[in-house]
A = this chain, B = another copy of it.
Amino acid sequence: MPELRKDPVLGRWIIIARERGKRPSDFVIVESPGSGGFCPLCPGNENTTPNEVLAYGRESNIINSPGWKVRVVPNKYPALVIEGDLNREGEGLYDKMNGIGAHEVVVESPNHDDVFSELPSEHMIMIFKAFQVRIKDLEHDDRFRYVLVFKNYGKAAGASLEHSHSQLVALPVLPRKIESELAGALTYYNYKERCVYCDIISQELKQDIRVVCKNEYFITITPFAPRTPFEMWILPIRHSSAYHEQDDRQLASLAEIFSESLCRLDACIPKVPYNFVLHTQPLRSPHMDHFHWHFEIVPKLTSIAGFEWGSGFYINPMPPEEAASYLRESLERIS
């Protein structure tokens, strides 16, 4: 059973997911998954994954059979396990609990070589819908406080399988980064009585130097203080704290802007590895006037070294205004 441990000074949680029998020499510097060979996410290999929890697009009613367009399965090597009690306990001044949680893989397409950003809009909508459905389902489990939805694209960004997929992790504690974000947004709200993200959107629209693109419901910006070159945030223009409550028209609009934003990024730096992370309200939370759900897309272009470890500061060689200008012009240059 994995274990959750809390740093007694920072309150930061760590998952100790012991891989038994590993000796020190087994820790390779950077794990680089090979390409080719057997793929457990490809159609026909459904029996090699745990039983699916969701599938879209299949005409038959036979679960774990081919014919799906998007498929969600529990992770075969989960960081956290679904069965058991939390058993919070102390060990002197330290705190720990069982590593209870859910870890699911969203297989984004049946085609091994499909790339997320190039999927047709109707297909991408199914993926965004799957995130919603899984969040709503996991919300019923009282042991969980937050569902983290994210994608690692490319080896350098941590993808361990080539086949296009994203992941959901349901956590029994609120992640510290989300907690800080909620606290920062609340401080601003208490002072101004306005949502800080709404104010950001309004200032970005006015200044128009960090806006990458925009459609009916969404806006993509390069944030004022980005951690990496070409970092992008996708936010709903109208205030909302809950991703899972967006309706189908909004999801269609989200698919459209997500695809456009990633295509613009790819036109600037072809096949750049990236991570995206959904930031949304905690499970079972009432609507929050101070928090605004959004996606953060972080390209993997710089490496984290002692300075970042020690300070939490990031050094970014590209001002977001320049990045936005490249991203705005990128598709125009190609066409």
Report whether A9 and B171 are in contact in the complex, using a CB–CB cutoff of 8 Å: no
Asked if B92 and A207 make an inter-chain contact with CB atoms under 8 angstroms apart, the answer reads: yes
Query: Cβ of A157: which chain B residues have Cβ within 8 Å of it?
Result: 305-306
Q: Is A67 an interface residue (CB 8 A)?
A: no
User: A13-21, A127-135, A212-220, A236-244: which lies at the B interface?
Assistant: A13-21
> Which of B223, B298, B307 lies in contact with A150, CB distance below 8 A?
B307
Find A24's partner among B188, B207, B230, B279 (CB 8 Å cutoff): B230
A5 to B199, CA, bound (A): 17
Q: Determine which of B16, B18, B269, B305 lies in contact with A275 in the assembled complex, contact meaning CB atoms within 8 Å.
A: B305
Chain B contacts of A110 at CB under 8 A? Answer: none
Residue contact A10 to B180, C-beta cutoff 8 Å: yes
A interface: dominant SS: mixed
Which of the candidate stretches A27-35, A56-64, A136-144, A251-259 sits at the interface with the other chain?
A27-35
Expressed in whole angstroms, the Cα–Cα distance for A26 and B317 within the complex equals 11
Question: What CA separation (Å) do A277 and B307 show in the bound complex?
Answer: 8
A: number of interface residues (CB 8 Å): 96
Interface pair A310/B27, CB less than 8 Å apart: no
Cβ contacts under 8 Å, A275 to chain B: 305-306, 309-310
**A7 within 8 A of partner (CB):** yes
Extra contacts, 9 of them, besides A16-B319, A175-B310 (Cβ < 8 A), are A5-B225, A19-B318, A31-B303, A79-B307, A175-B311, A176-B313, A275-B305, A277-B306, A277-B310
